[in-house]
Structure 1
Amino acid sequence: MPTYTPPLRDMQFVLHEMLHVENVLKNLPQHADIDAETIDSILEEGGKFCAEVLYPLNRVGDTEGCKHDKQTGNVTTPTGFKEAYKQFVEAGWGGLGMDPNYGGQGLPHVVHSAFMEMMNSANQAWTMYPGLSHGAYNALSAFGTPEQKNLYLPKLVSGEWTGTMCLTEPHAGTDLGILKTKAEPQGDGTYAITGTKIFISAGEHDMSQNIIHLVLARLPDAPAGTKGISLFIVPKFVPDADGKPGARNAVKCGAIEHKMGIHGNATCVMNFDGAIGTLVGAPNKGLNAMFVMMNSARLGVGMQSVGLAEVAYQNSLAYAKERLQSRSLTGTKAPNKPADPIIVHPDVRRMLLTQKAYVEAARAFSYWAGLAIDLEHKHPDEAVRKDNADLVALLTPVIKGFITDNGYESTTLAMQVLGGHGYIAEWGLEQHVRDARINMIYEGTNTIQALDLLGRKVLGDMGAKLMKLGKAMQEALKPFADNPAMQEFLAPFNALQSEVQRLTMEIGQKAMKNPDEVGAAAVPYLRVIGHLVFSFAWCYAAGVALTRQDSGDDFYKAKLATARFYFAKLYPESAFHIGAARSGSSTLMAMDEALF
């Protein structure tokens, strides 16, 4: 039957042996007193909550789903969800990385990232309820007035209230410039919000006292397009003079979507019928605030796929060690049994090692980005903050796009390892596949991430951010450069970095003549950059493991073996995608629409 064990050993390896987070945090005044022991104890306790409370509810949420009362618009979450959320709030897990001034624990973002990984392994659908609150918190922290912050942030931090982001409309997904929701000034500083939003995760539920919707809408005199979008706070219950939930606002869930996966999360159609809202930030500047929330969500989606890939790998590995099927091609390996366990077969090992290589590199990559977020916001040196802000901006679409692509592949491989049993619900793998599929779609499809990476983040500044990434990676690998044993890892990494530089220049030159070249190259280009970062992660992991392979701890031997597998079997995909990116747009755009 399905199981989940928090991968604390590998998490500690990344945090302490690769990133040395406790040393980095000493340079941040807010976190200077946080040591490795504190981080480990927090994650150990968090892992217990995830494995013992959230994971048993994962299949419950999938089979029960959410229930919608059409008359009242109320939504009831699956059995146990509300009780688990109460435990979550009482333990203070929601405020782990949030500002102590609003009741948070003020821990580093990188620690929050590690905890989110475990939550998503245990129960992605449940985790989305408090997860959306982090995006709302970030947006209001950056753009809210002092009054808005004092009213809403303590409640979001405590978990008493939850948040949503309301962007998509039936006719407007990624193209927010054509959204129609209206905001009419009421003369008292509030606005009447009218319109319909769809695909609103956690838009309505019974887990918190109040739900704070952040809604994009247009003022009456707003200019057309994205320059005329404003952001509004629209609470489910309008707070009274004491800051407590007061009158029910004119916002209602009209329906919940029947989805392929994440059944335990209420994906809502939200109807705003003159609902009371207050403006966040300046008029017609709503996208600036919303992108803070969206970027937070995109990083969160990457962690969803790290979590799903991990739990899927654990269960397929356990099955492969127990399932007896045929004999090894090189001779019997379990003579006392009627057949050998399937882990002896080369292709089963390929599927397992692909999962292992992808999830461990994704963990290292996403934690590295999490630490960069801490440096971006908290380092006393402005130049360091700027450099890390550029890294985070560049890496966000890669985390969202590359990790979710690999996460879906990993869950399908895990299901394949189980064969027919993987296709049957009781083993849990088919749910992981269905849940993982949405991660490639929401918060901006992976094609949108690829266009953002190549068009905005790379070509938009003539490769400045990409050069910063290259410099940061080379600097991190310097301690291993003189070790001859590292050349099997460093040589392909260095070769790919040089190839990326040439490829980027070629695409940029072609794009100046034909913008379609960016659209044609973007998706394979993102795969190439993803492998560049993953090959860096495996170089660094191998460098650490080489220094400790004689320690007697087989963990380091496994690291080296997985690194070698990655460079032999997965890294070569980058050459294919380099060729695809170079092939241009002509074969895509030449055929007349009528010929399709």
Structure 2
Amino acid sequence: MRIEEGFQPIPFSEKNAYLEDPVLPGLLRRVLPDSVHKEIEPDLERLGSDVLEVLRPLASSASVSPPTLTQYDQWGRRIDHLQTSEGWRKIKAISQTEGIPGIFYERTYNEHSRVYGFAKILLMVGDTQEVFCPLSMTDGTARIIELLGKDALTRDVLPRLISRDPSKAFTAGQWMTERPGGSDVSLTETTAQSLGQEHPYGSKYSLTGIKWFSSATDSEVSVALARTGPASSGSRALSLFLIPLRKPLFPDPNSKTQPSPISNNIFIHRLKNKIGTHALPTAELSLQGTEGYLVSPLNQGVKSITPVLNITRVWSAITSIGHLRKCLSIATAYSRVRAVRSGSQLLQDAPIHVAQLAQINLLYRALTHLAFGVVRLLGKSECDVVTGEEGQRLRMLTPVLKAFCAEKACAGMEEAMTALGGAGYMEENGIGRAIRDGLVEKIWEGTVAVLALDLARSAQNGEVLNAFTSWALSIIETVPISLASQLDAPIKLLQEGLKALPKAYTLPLHPLAPRPALIVVGYIASSIYLLEHALWAVETAQPTSGIDVEVFKRWVLEAGLQSAQEDLERAMTSNQERLDVDKAIVFGVRSGVKKKTKL
């Protein structure tokens, strides 16, 4: 039989990414003022089509040609020529033209600008080949310059970082990670020596060291931590610098030659061989007398770089959710065309299959509402309209958002892949790349364990934890009598979780508590945001109100909150004996160590 003969599978066809999204249109209708919503929705509808018709073909082409590095030319001269794919460069240019990250600093819609910009990012990210990684750091760098930069930096560099003109726009990196410790910067080896000279951008320093993980190697500038005090002072002796990757930073546009990649004594040791994010040029760099400009107050680099970390963690969460959105969209579209039972039934009519898609959909809804709840707080904070309690909630929920979304989204993507059967395992549909790229979000900007400890530091402040608890209870208290009996069980479970949190964060902190406590907070926060949306839908008689209420109930009762609370309780009651047995399970029982079985 010829391949053209016999049964021919019907290719699935996705619809407008924005209009078909199960969450975003309704969420934006609730959180945005009517005037803002009416103005931006046509743009999001247009983008929903462009995601499929423009970005997706470019994403496929970008993955064909990964970045390459040529360290030496024919004559043995060091050149460090980095070549990225044309698709990568075009996707970056499209993103900048769309206002990523410019929307956030134009602030046309004031505190709502963050919601608008991240809505676009959510729709685009699954088909942008991780271009949003350097753009997230560009966003963070712009915020640092806005907060700390001298007038010359604000005049010269900031407009480039937020420009919508790709021919002028800069991207920026963030150089923190070094060989002694990933998220632990206290052992930073890179040193910065004052040159005793002032530059319009800040005091001039010479930096020497190794930056082990640079994911914006093709950028124009980077912010970097370097040691300006004794190593014995750890992270308290680090300062923050702005570094041009090439000199001069603003070359003569009429010149026939551009600055050499090594003109600021930055050398690429090698490109990283990663399991995903293949189009993204991630490198190991050495700085050998590299010129940088002091941005932070001396020895206050860690505190000064915090805005970058907060912003990139939100980007990371949205990236996780955006990959999940794409996978869910593909699985849903496939169910509409794939026939089973000898061709007599479509998957969309098979209850067991629809139940699987509903579980993925439930996860996507919960994560999206959680993310945009935090995004709204970020927008308010940047526009100085945030209340004290909202600011404390933002501090607490930022690490939770990043860790919880990264942890949960990957499992959802895998479920979406299996919903296509063997077709899901094929590289062409893009789910495999989404999973590989999405996995890195569980590591970048802090693992769950690292972020759990960050959360613990903030939650130990009674005011911060009280701000979160009082907010959650205030939403619960608005449940109308008409819904009270229907929502009794999920509300009681949420209240139990809230009561457990103060004990989990009481000093001395139990060594096993932080991770399960973060997961509990993630479940509670996402549940409260779903409840808030469901109550709005009921109050305003939205046609989706019944579904929104059911989504809240199922998420609380069926998605894992109770097991998460049990994990936390188990951790809180664990004794040293359990810790010892954990070691024995992992490393084996050494001679001389008493075997213990009672837990």
Distance in 2, matches of 1:322 and 1:50, equals 21
Alignment-mate amino acid for residue 66 of structure 1 = P
Pair 1:240–1:297, CA change in 2 (3 A):
closer
Alignment-mate amino acid for residue 422 of structure 1 = G
Q: How far off its partner does 1:533 sit? A: 1.4
State yes or no: 1:534 paired with 2:510: no
State yes or no: 1:574 paired with 2:585: no
Quick one: which of 400, 403, 425 aligns to 2:402?
400
State yes or no: 1:525 paired with 2:517: yes
Output one character per residue of 1:26-79: Cα deviation in whole Å (capped at 9) or x when no partner.
xxxxxxxx5221132333344344333322223333343222222222322223
Name the structure 2 match of 1:236.
Answer: 245
Pair 1:504–1:129, CA change in 2 (3 A):
closer
Pair 1:322–1:111, CA change in 2 (3 A):
same
Quick one: which of 256, 261, 264 aligns to 2:279?
264
Name the structure 2 match of 1:417.
Answer: 419
Distance in 2, matches of 1:213 and 1:104, equals 28
Is the contact between residue 133 and residue 163 of structure 1 (CA under 8 Å) also seen in structure 2? Answer: yes
Distance in 1, matches of 2:212 and 2:281, equals 11
Name the structure 2 match of 1:75.
Answer: 82
Distance in 2, matches of 1:39 and 1:104, equals 10
Distance in 2, matches of 1:486 and 1:122, equals 42
Gaps spanning 5+ residues in structure 1: where?
24-33, 205-209, 327-336
Distance in 2, matches of 1:90 and 1:104, equals 18
Distance in 2, matches of 1:478 and 1:180, equals 52
Name the structure 2 match of 1:30.
Answer: none
Name the structure 1 match of 2:596.
Answer: none
Name the structure 2 match of 1:84.
Answer: 91
Q: How far off its partner does 1:106 sit? A: 8.6
Q: SS at the partner of 2:162?
A: helix
Output one character per residue of 1:183-226: Cα deviation in whole Å (capped at 9) or x when no partner.
1112223111111112211222xxxxx51111111126565201
Distance in 2, matches of 1:105 and 1:488, equals 38
Distance in 1, matches of 2:63 and 2:15, equals 17
Is the contact between residue 135 and residue 171 of structure 2 (CA under 8 Å) also seen in structure 1? Answer: yes
Is the contact between residue 413 and residue 435 of structure 2 (CA under 8 Å) also seen in structure 1? Answer: yes
Output one character per residue of 1:452-509: Cα deviation in whole Å (capped at 9) or x when no partner.
11x21212x03x2222123223434554x224235433542343234332x2233345
Question: Mapping of 1:87-236 within 5 angstroms?
Answer: 87-99=94-106, 108-158=113-163, 160-189=169-198, 190-204=204-218, 211-219=220-228, 224-236=233-245
Name the structure 2 match of 1:595.
Answer: 588
Output one character per residue of 1:422-474: Cα deviation in whole Å (capped at 9) or x when no partner.
22212222211111111111101111111211x21212x03x22221232234
Is the contact between residue 29 and residue 37 of structure 2 (CA under 8 Å) also seen in structure 1? Answer: yes
Is the contact between residue 308 and residue 432 of structure 1 (CA under 8 Å) also seen in structure 2? Answer: yes
Is the contact between residue 66 and residue 75 of structure 1 (CA under 8 Å) also seen in structure 2? Answer: yes
Higher mean C-alpha displacement, 252-261 vs 69-78: 69-78
Pair 1:488–1:467, CA change in 2 (3 A):
farther
Distance in 1, matches of 2:394 and 2:252, equals 35
Distance in 2, matches of 1:346 and 1:583, equals 41
Q: TM-score, normalised by structure 1?
A: 0.85
Task: Please state which structure has a larger fraction of its residues in helix.
Answer: 1
Pair 1:585–1:264, CA change in 2 (3 A):
farther
Higher mean C-alpha displacement, 399-408 vs 354-363: 354-363
Q: SS at the partner of 2:193?
A: strand
Q: How far off its partner does 1:558 sit? A: 4.0
Name the structure 2 match of 1:484.
Answer: 482
Q: SS at the partner of 1:188?
A: strand
Q: TM-score, normalised by structure 2?
A: 0.84
Pair 1:241–1:539, CA change in 2 (3 A):
closer
Using the aligned pairs only, state the percent identity.
Answer: 20
Is the contact between residue 470 and residue 497 of structure 1 (CA under 8 Å) also seen in structure 2? Answer: no
Pair 1:193–1:357, CA change in 2 (3 A):
same
Distance in 2, matches of 1:235 and 1:444, equals 26
Name the structure 1 match of 2:360.
Answer: 355
Pair 1:347–1:199, CA change in 2 (3 A):
farther
Is the contact between residue 61 and residue 125 of structure 1 (CA under 8 Å) also seen in structure 2? Answer: no
Name the structure 2 match of 1:436.
Answer: 438
Distance in 2, matches of 1:392 and 1:148, equals 28
Name the structure 2 match of 1:565.
Answer: 554
Pair 1:40–1:474, CA change in 2 (3 A):
farther
Name the structure 2 match of 1:586.
Answer: 576
Over aligned residue pairs, what C-alpha RMSD do you find? 2.8
Output one character per residue of 1:547-576: Cα deviation in whole Å (capped at 9) or x when no partner.
566x7x4x4454344344324421443343
Higher mean C-alpha displacement, 243-252 vs 357-366: 243-252
Alignment-mate amino acid for residue 5 of structure 1 = N
Q: How far off its partner does 1:412 sit? A: 0.8
Distance in 2, matches of 1:572 and 1:56, equals 43
Distance in 1, matches of 2:320 and 2:480, equals 35
Distance in 2, matches of 1:240 and 1:438, equals 31
Distance in 2, matches of 1:120 and 1:585, equals 44
Q: SS at the partner of 2:391?
A: helix
Alignment-mate amino acid for residue 58 of structure 2 = L
Alignment-mate amino acid for residue 82 of structure 2 = V
Alignment-mate amino acid for residue 228 of structure 2 = L
Distance in 1, matches of 2:110 and 2:87, equals 26
Alignment-mate amino acid for residue 36 of structure 1 = H
Name the structure 2 match of 1:16.
Answer: 29
Alignment-mate amino acid for residue 86 of structure 2 = T
Is the contact between residue 475 and residue 528 of structure 2 (CA under 8 Å) also seen in structure 1? Answer: no
Is the contact between residue 53 and residue 84 of structure 1 (CA under 8 Å) also seen in structure 2? Answer: no
Pair 1:557–1:584, CA change in 2 (3 A):
same
Name the structure 2 match of 1:58.
Answer: 59
Q: How far off its partner does 1:169 sit? A: 1.0
Alignment-mate amino acid for residue 144 of structure 2 = A
Alignment-mate amino acid for residue 283 of structure 1 = L
Quick one: which of 494, 497, 500 aligns to 1:496?
494
Q: How far off its partner does 1:259 sit? A: 1.0
Distance in 2, matches of 1:173 and 1:563, equals 37
Q: How far off its partner does 1:417 sit? A: 1.2
Is the contact between residue 68 and residue 255 of structure 1 (CA under 8 Å) also seen in structure 2? Answer: yes
Is the contact between residue 124 and residue 304 of structure 1 (CA under 8 Å) also seen in structure 2? Answer: no
Is the contact between residue 195 and residue 271 of structure 1 (CA under 8 Å) also seen in structure 2? Answer: yes
Distance in 2, matches of 1:94 and 1:350, equals 38
Name the structure 2 match of 1:254.
Answer: 269
Distance in 1, matches of 2:512 and 2:440, equals 23
Is the contact between residue 98 and residue 106 of structure 1 (CA under 8 Å) also seen in structure 2? Answer: no
Output one character per residue of 1:405-425: Cα deviation in whole Å (capped at 9) or x when no partner.
111111011112122222221
Pair 1:506–1:556, CA change in 2 (3 A):
closer
Q: How far off its partner does 1:584 sit? A: 2.7
Alignment-mate amino acid for residue 467 of structure 2 = K
Number of positions where the alignment pairs a residue of Structure 1 with one of Structure 2: 551
Quick one: which of 292, 299, 312 aligns to 1:277?
292
Gaps spanning 5+ residues in structure 2: where?
1-10, 73-78, 199-203, 590-599
Name the structure 1 match of 2:449.
Answer: 447
Alignment-mate amino acid for residue 365 of structure 1 = L
Q: How far off its partner does 1:345 sit? A: 4.6
Q: SS at the partner of 1:444?
A: coil
Distance in 1, matches of 2:429 and 2:71, equals 34
Pair 1:89–1:546, CA change in 2 (3 A):
closer
Distance in 2, matches of 1:285 and 1:272, equals 21
Q: SS at the partner of 1:98?
A: helix
Distance in 2, matches of 1:221 and 1:586, equals 37
Name the structure 2 match of 1:375.
Answer: 380
Is the contact between residue 373 and residue 529 of structure 2 (CA under 8 Å) also seen in structure 1? Answer: no
Distance in 1, matches of 2:309 and 2:178, equals 16
